[in-house]
Amino acid sequence: MQLAHRAEEPHLIADALRELGAWLNRTNRLTEAETMLRHSLSLAEMIDDQPKIISALNNLGNSLLNQNRIDEAQAVLQRGLQLAEQIGYYRAYVILAGNLGTLYAEKLGDWETAVRYFEQGAQIGREHDCRTALMGLLGEWGYQALFFDELEMAEQSFTDSLQIARENGHLVSVAV
């Protein structure tokens, strides 16, 4: 952060804030994470960098989700998904669709809507060869399907995710 501020480069500052916010989120420092991510989003909007806006929205949505602020998380993630679709940022679309699918399955218990998001994300991921994002979405889809006793769907999702992981030599994902 100090180096980014010293450089007085808003693109670098927005990236550093986003990464710091994501790290704070992973270490369960959720209030601090939200602050950093909102600041990153504000800078990304100021410089009108659409991919940075989408990334900040995704991370902020996850932070809000971790705080169980479901309605806010849903709105933020949905905004990111719509923007990703508008500019053709397909990898981000797949990730955001997976996060929305997880939100609907895990937090709202709405399996039907969750499946629609997972299907949309998987379709875009396949059409635009977003292999690692697709791998993650499929893994999460399989995981959520287990909780809804959708065992065939879980098996297919896990199988497809595993195939992508093997093809890409992504050993951590193969193990998971």
Q: What is the 3-state secondary structure (H, E, C) of 86-101?
A: HHCCHHHHHHHHHHHH
Q: Give the pLDDT of the chain (176 residues) as one tens digit per residue.
A: 666 656 678 888 899 999 999 999 999 999 999 999 999 999 999 999 999 999 999 999 999 999 999 999 999 999 999 999 999 999 999 999 999 999 999 999 999 999 999 999 999 999 999 999 999 999 999 999 999 999 999 999 999 999 999 999 989 888 88
- pTM above 0.75? yes
DSSP H helices in the chain: 2-7, 10-26, 30-46, 50-66, 70-87, 90-102, 111-127, 131-147, 151-167, 171-175
